[in-house]
Amino acid sequence: MPQKVVLACDVCKSRNYTTSKTEQNRTIRLQINKYCKTCGKHTTHVETK
pTM: 0.81
Q: Where are the alpha helices (DSSP H) in the chain?
A: none
Measured distance CA(15)–CA(1) in Å, rounded = 23
Q: How far is CA 19 from CA 8, 24, 44, in A?
A: 11, 15, 15
Output the pLDDT for position 21. Answer: 86
Which residue ranges of the chain lie beneath pLDDT 70? 25
Output the pLDDT for position 16. Answer: 92
Output the pLDDT for position 47. Answer: 93
Measured distance CA(12)–CA(2) in Å, rounded = 27
Fold of 3-47: Rubrerythrin, domain 2 (2.20.28)
Q: Which amino acid is at 19?
A: T
